[in-house]
Amino acid sequence: MHYTDMKVLFHRQWRLVRLQGFSRTLSLQNQTHGELRGGPDALALSAGLWWLTNGLHSRPDDGSAARDIMCTVLPLTQDYANDMLTIQPRRAMVEHGDSLPFCAFGAYFLRTIIWPPTADVPRMQRGGVMRNSTFKYVFGMDYEALQRKFRPPAYIPRAMVPRARVGTQKGFSKRHRLDDPAPAPLLADLDIDLGGGQHDAGEDLPWDERNDFPPELEEDPGVQLTKLWNQFCCDLLQKCGNLKNQPLAASHCRLTMEERLHVTEDVYKDMNLAMVFHRVQWKKVSGQEWKEAFDIFFPPPKAPLRIQPQNYPSMEYWVKWCSMKEQLPIATANTIRNRFWQMFKGLMWVPKPHKDRLWKYMVNQDFRTFPPTYKDQAPQVIVSPASQGARWEPERVPGGDVVGEEEEASEEEDGDEPEVDRREWVNGIAPIPDRILLREEEEESGSEIDV
């Protein structure tokens, strides 16, 4: 056999031997599950084997993620004259005395591996850790997500709950935040007596429960009724709930609770439902159905009582309206209610009210769904017969659908800037400095990550 043929055969057999070694190591790792399999050192070994396997048929990847893997699994040296360095030193590295990975004798040898029976799961000897972006590049998820995969918790950590998920206001609704509104035009000229307001300005009471205006400074009826109308507008969205049995999904309503407390009728006049909802079912109704909805929201005086419904008894506007219409003369209550009806006809959409509860979310074939491709449970709203129909324009939503991340501390205890963004840290340990992964003059290639 010719020497060249022997050399080719040796290289093929050497590749097979390495591939078999990688396969056996991974099989041994996968025989054990739980905390050890998901540890940073075991996952670093898995990532190193993945990188080496991909390098069997082509030049090994040397992008940013691959360099991070090299620095984690390969032996390191501070001998910058070593011809076998896998990352060429930059001036910043020389100044800091950073250790760089190298290929001893021109072949890839890993650092010390801890094998059974010392450890049930083969892993790298404790050293540096890969950064979170490298975990995402190799495994498709960051370190914390991998931990939850290998070690499911008995609860969902609060940190996992997206900021777009707002807790449902199950208790009594909160007071509308516009405390001194101008009277609505349809309510400004009402010459009626709403009766004396009760006074309790005790400082021990929560702000929402105080009635701190004295009788001699009692507000104009138009202002009081405007407050009631504003309270109606904000109470509806305070009671909008979340996807059932999906605690990590964004709320149906995209507004925060604070934003819901500032809602006015203008929100219900915008036909772009994406401004308010992440998902919604809607239906354009007839004039009769629109009037029936109003009758549920504002029952007329002396209306027959019904079995206690959900949501309504814990809405401040509902309690005040029911109290007002029972205390006032029927003629006065009907006058107010007629003004509210005129204002209600100016709205373009409202929740589809039911006599037993305010919101329902079950899929209803009579409704259309936004986004158009969404087919699961969502809040039901009805659209005024005077409207042109609902729209879905999420691009108009300030900030779009991107859920902002919580800002994390960017300074260490001594006040200096950390060398690596803290979002890249794993188990509270800082990975290798960014300067090692960045090139100075070389052309970028391979597994690029943001550093």
Average predicted confidence (pLDDT) for the chain? 81
Chain Cα centroid distance, residue 243: 13
Strands in 368-370's sheet, in edge-to-edge order, are: 349-351, 380-383, 280-284, 368-370
DSSP state of 171: S
Return the axis-axis angle of helices 40-54 and 3-30, rounded to nearest 10°.
150
User: Exposure of 387 by Cβ count < 10 A (0-12 exposed, 13-18 middle, 19+ buried)?
Assistant: middle
Confidence of residue 405 (pLDDT cuts 50, 70, 90): very low
Alpha-carbon distance of 193 to 223, in angstroms, equals 13
| Percent of the chain as helix, strand, coil, to the nearest 5 | 35, 5, 55
Q: What is the arithmetic mean of pLDDT over 93-108?
A: 77
Check whether 168 has a pLDDT greater than 90. Answer: no
d(CA 198, CA 69): 71
Give the best-scoring range by mean pLDDT among 3-7, 76-80, 431-435.
76-80
Over residues 164-181, mean pLDDT: 77
d(CA 282, CA 274): 12
Contact 64, 449 (CB under 8 A): yes
pLDDT tops 90 at residue 299: yes
AA identity, residue 342: Q
Residue 272: band (very low, low, confident or very high) from pLDDT cuts 50, 70, 90: very high
The DSSP element (H or E) to which 77 belongs, if any, is: strand 76-77
The DSSP bridge pattern shows strands 76-77 and 100-101 to be: antiparallel
pLDDT in tens, 40-94: 899 999 999 999 998 887 788 888 899 999 999 999 888 888 778 888 777 666 6
Identify which has the larger pLDDT, 446 or 151: 151
In 3D space, the residue among 321, 164, 315 whose CA is nearest the CA of residue 237 turns out to be 315
Task: Check: CB of residue 197 under 8 Å from CB of residue 211.
Answer: yes
Question: Which of helix, strand or coil describes residue 384?
Answer: coil
With contact defined as beta carbons under 8 Å apart, do 352 and 381 qualify? yes
Phi-psi region of 106 (alpha: psi -120 to 50; beta: other; left: phi over 0): left
Q: How far is CA 21 from CA 24, 27, 82, 99, in A?
A: 5, 10, 28, 27
Tell me: pLDDT of 447 over 60. no
Contact 123, 111 (CB under 8 A): no
The pLDDT score that the predictor gives to residue 282 is 97
Mean pLDDT of 271-290: 96
Residue 442's pLDDT band, with cuts at 50, 70 and 90, is: very low
Angle among Cα 206, 212, 216 to the nearest 5 degrees reads: 175
Check residue 267 and report its DSSP letter.
Answer: G
- Binned at pLDDT 50, 70 and 90, residue 431 comes out as confident
**pLDDT value for 222:** 92
The residue count for the chain: 451
Environment class of residue 161 by beta-carbon count within 10 Å: exposed (0-12), middle (13-18) or buried (19+)? middle
* CA 295 – CA 355 distance, rounded (Å): 10
Q: Which distant-in-sequence residues (6+ apart) come within 8 Å of 426 by Cβ?
A: 40, 129, 130, 131, 132, 135, 143
Q: How large is the average pLDDT for residues 385-407?
A: 73
Mean pLDDT over residues 398-417, rounded? 43
Nearest C-alpha neighbor of 80 from the set 67, 68, 89, 92: 89
- pTM here is 0.55
Does 375 have pLDDT greater than 50? Answer: yes
| Residue in 156, 157, 153, 129 with CA at minimum distance from that of residue 143 | 129
Q: What integer pLDDT is reported at residue 154 of this predicted model?
A: 53
Q: How confident is the model at residue 167 (pLDDT cuts 50, 70, 90)?
A: low
d(CA 191, CA 389): 37
In 10-52, beta strands by DSSP E? none
Residue 196: predicted pLDDT = 56
Question: Where do we find the tokens 């009631």?
Answer: 228
Share above pLDDT 90 across residues of the chain, in percent, rounded to a whole number: 40
Instruction: Please choose, from the candidates 71, 88, 70, the residue with its C-alpha nearest in 3D space to the C-alpha of residue 79.
Output: 88
pLDDT(228) > 90: yes
pLDDT value of residue 366: 95
User: Which pLDDT does position 150 carry in this prediction?
Assistant: 65
What is each CA distance from 138 to 64, 131, 369, in whole angstroms?
12, 11, 37
3-state secondary structure of 266: helix
